[in-house]
Amino acid sequence: MINNPLQLLLNPGSIATVGAGNNPLKMGAIQALSIVKDGFPGKFFPIHPTETKVFGYKAYPSAFDLPEAPDLVMFVLPATLVVKIMEDFGKIGTRRAIVITAGFREIGKEGKLLEEQLKEITSRYGIRFLGPNCMGIINSELPLNVTVCPLSGKPGLLGMASQSGTYITQTLPYLQQKGIRLAKAISVGNEADLELTDALEYLGADPQCKAIALYIEGLKNAGRFLDVARKVTAQKPVIAQYVGGSEAGARAGSSHTGALAGPDYLYDGLFKQAGILRVDSVEELYNQGWMLASQPPLKGNRIAVLTNSGGPGTAISHTCNAGGLDIPTFSKKLQTEIRQYLPPHGAAGNPVDLTFHMDAEVISTILPDLLFKSGEVDGMVVHGLMGTGFMKAIHPHVQELFGGISSEDFISQFKRDLTDSLAVFDRYDLPVALSSFFGREDNFTDVYREKGIPVLDGPEKAARSMLALYRYRLVRQRSLYQLPVLPPVSVIASQLIKAALAEGRTVLDEFESKQLLAAYDVTTVEEILTHSEEEAVKAAIKIGYPLALKGCSAEFAHKTGKGLIHLNVGKEEEVREAYRAVMEAAGQEIPLLVSKMITGERELMAGLVRHSSFGPCVLFGLGGILAEAFKDRTFRLAPLNEAEAKEMLQDIRASELLGPYRGMPAVDQDQLATVLQAVGNLAMLHPEILEIDLNPVIISGANPVVVDALVIIDSPVGR
């Protein structure tokens, strides 16, 4: 048995509903009907203050009148009544609940107070619950459906957890049309108790769920989510849509479920770090989720494209290839075998294009079998399998030529048995995605979808579904996650931070920031901090020209454009001139940092930010003065192991710069990864650190050198 509080919640032996009467237009009644009409095999106990029966079942006035304590209670009644009645169920021994009722944290201060009271009561009695402000659950295996839309058909394969109730209930008719079947679905609502992460953990351990889809508006604890997701994605695919990354999305999510949204770039990094496949629409969430759940995994990246039309075949080939899949040209032997089934103008090389071909057996059975058994492909995308839908479409034009035949009689002549076609797709342990512009009015689409084979309503959608399998294959190829081992806390670093805070400072100056980095073996530029013009000259002689001279004070954290930086200083007279210019620009005597001038055409940046629900996050990207203009950067949650740090290096658009480039040697990526790991370690070992900005990190030859650094700190107490 799965050791998760959701196990009993999704597999109860008995259910009580509070607030469901006999009016079939009321929400509670509709949900009660889903329980009793969709085949729940357990006991059903309606609670109602006045009705004696609800849809033929004996109703009870209160929890204390029930013959036994139900495993699960569901609330659909005014929010102000939930707390008192929840306590009644706690007293009789019920330990699982679903609070459908809205009007809690999402409405503001008053609702938040009510939610806190609900949490206190449930905690006191050991009740674990979903919601409030959710739409319930689905377990197609039991079966159990407590949502507002009917659930029909065979048990499914796709697990789903959603912070929107709509996406597990109002979409059920839509999913049925698409042939997509949910295994288990969980609406988490406000997540006052059980959270999306609990749902992910449960679905990850559930053998019925072959893939998991997540709709996310915000996470309370990204660190725990990452820990759980890493384990799940190592075993089965997880696909997610996040919609809280924009100002409007965050505002809508907050008013919807009270979700704690965060910047889109942090979620993007989180998903990559966790091995979660991200999509941009709920349609992709369902389509690609179903592909991942219903099809065998890709064993390679060679894809066959089979089509009866050049345009869709080209679109499929382009989309697959652009995403990393190979559309290989078939061997001469295979092309010869294919050609015997093609018209003279058909193409056999891949895509295999029959052009307009009316023999459905060729495209649905003969050629798929030939391609699959060839050993030259790892998967297949097919466009143009159609029958009765197409005949229905052309009937008005040909009716007269067929003696005024009716639509039904005309269509019936073109129905065919697809048993052999289905057998081909079953015979080989290889994935297939189909594309058709016809829905279930077409017998091909209907039969394939009923069988569980993905049929997408567009060639690019079919190609992207195949790409989902490829993306997950890359996830599975990653090395098993190794927890990074943090180094011992540096006494020097701790003293630097403590001293600054004691002075009331929240910024370490550049020299202090680099000392902090050096304490954890990060390579920084050779430099000397000076306090007079003569000290600056002596330091220049010791380091050697050319030099970079910079004013160094926590008061001037950002120096660019303020006259505090002088580069390529080449002789003593220039040192003296630069010193005086810096003091004049600062308007006071401040220390001067005399540094070896580091040159290199490649400038990168590394850093750290903190977010309330993410904790410390490491940044890597293109640096220098154009960093803000290009915003080519990526993030990961700290701490990082070596593999995660190196993955970040390849995650920016300009990653090509890290290899041999225009006569420059490849960057020492081991050193660069060490910098990123050290930044993350600093945040974990010193919670006082709020931000780190290393920009630029100049690539000198092959070696990364930190030439500028800024660290912002604050006392962690009360933060």
Whether residue 344 has pLDDT greater than 90: no
Q: Cβ(520)–Cβ(682) under 8 Å?
A: yes
Residue-wise pLDDT tens digits, 489-531: 999 999 999 999 999 999 999 999 999 999 999 999 999 999 9
In whole angstroms, how far apart are CA 679 and each of 6, 349, 709? 38, 51, 11
Q: Which CATH architecture has domain 526-596?
A: 2-Layer Sandwich (3.30)
Q: Mean per-residue pLDDT for 452-468?
A: 98
| DSSP letters spanning 569-611 | E-SHHHHHHHHHHHHHHHTS---EEEEE----SEEEEEEEEEE
Q: State how far Cα 602 lies from the chain centre.
A: 31
CB 421 within 8 A of CB 386: no
Answer whether CATH 3.40.50.300 is correct for domain 602-713.
no
Cα(532)–Cα(534) distance, integer angstroms? 5
Report how many helices (DSSP H) and strands (DSSP E) the chain contains, helices first: 27, 30
Q: At what angle do helices 79-92 and 109-125 cross, to 10 degrees?
A: 0
User: Position of tokens 């609990």?
Assistant: 198
352 beta partners = 306
Single out the residue of 3, 6, 51 nearest to residue 144, CA to CA: 6
pLDDT digit string, tens, across residues 377-411: 999 999 999 988 888 888 899 888 888 898 888 88
pLDDT score at 719 = 54
All structural domains of the chain with their residue ranges:
5-292, 295-476, 526-596, 602-713
pLDDT at 262 over 80: no
**pLDDT confidence bin for 139, thresholds 50/70/90:** very high
Instruction: Look at strands 238-242 and 211-216 and give their pairing.
Output: parallel
User: Which residues, in sequence order, are CB contacts of 137 under 8 Å at separation 6+?
Assistant: 9, 10, 98, 130, 144, 145, 146, 147, 168, 184, 185, 186, 187
pLDDT given for residue 246 in this prediction: 58
Q: What percent of the chain has pLDDT over 90?
A: 85
Contact 295, 432 (CB under 8 A): yes
- pLDDT of residue 254 exceeding 50, the answer is no
CATH superfamily of 5-292: Succinyl-CoA synthetase domains (3.40.50.261)
Same fold, 5-292 and 295-476: yes
Cα-Cα end-to-end distance for the chain: 40
The residues near 64 (Cβ < 8 Å, ≥ 6 apart) are: 88, 91, 92
pTM of the model: 0.93
108 vs 163, which has greater pLDDT? 163
What's the pLDDT at 717? 64
Q: Report pLDDT for 253.
A: 44
SS3 83: helix
Whole-number pLDDT of residue 560: 67
CATH, range 295-476: 3.40.50.261
On whether the CB atoms of residues 193 and 468 are closer than 8 A, the answer is no
What was the pLDDT predicted at 25? 86
The tokens of 54 are what?
A: 């609800």
